[in-house]
Amino acid sequence: IKTELAKLIMDQFSSPSENEEAIQEWKKIHNPKSRAVPDDVKEIKLGEEFFAETPEPLLVWVLSKLSFIPSVSEGRRLIKAGGLYLSEDKITDEKFPIQKGKEYLVRQGKKGKFLKIIS
């Protein structure tokens, strides 16, 4: 019923084809059985400044510098609460290092925001 109501409201403001695309994208992201990555994930390539102090900076530090999370301590709280993921794997190590030459798909929360980091 909620989906039908949302569709009726959406049809008043945009075309049915745009609405159908939006519904499919929503279902793709919010379906826990087959959760997928949205098509428009923000992608960031890390510069040398991220590796200046240490060859393997901590993920929480990098996410904080990129403003994906408010602070390093908030990132640690997210990890303790089980709210930060790499791809579909829950991050459990607060000191998870970012290695040069790799790609990381970070997700905050079950339905939250995504970020692709290229180191």
What pLDDT digit, counting tens, does each position of 30-41 carry? Answer: 666 555 677 788
**Are 80 and 66 within one domain?**
yes
**Are 87 and 106 within one domain?**
yes
Tally of structural domains, the chain: 2
Report d(CA 102, CA 20) in Å as an integer: 35
Each residue's pLDDT tens digit, 49-65:
999 888 999 999 999 99
Alpha helices in the chain (DSSP H): 2-11, 16-30, 59-65, 72-80
**Are 65 and 31 within one domain?**
no
Q: Is the pTM of this model over 0.85?
A: no
**Are 93 and 56 within one domain?**
yes
CATH number at residue 109: 3.10.290.10
**Are 73 and 113 within one domain?**
yes
**Are 57 and 100 within one domain?**
yes
**What pLDDT was estimated at residue 41?**
86
Report d(CA 76, CA 61) in Å as an integer: 10
Mean pLDDT of the chain: 87
pLDDT of residue 92 exceeding 80, the answer is yes
Q: Which domain holds residue 77?
A: 42-118
Q: Can you tell me the mean pLDDT for 102-111? A: 88
pLDDT of residue 22 exceeding 80, the answer is yes
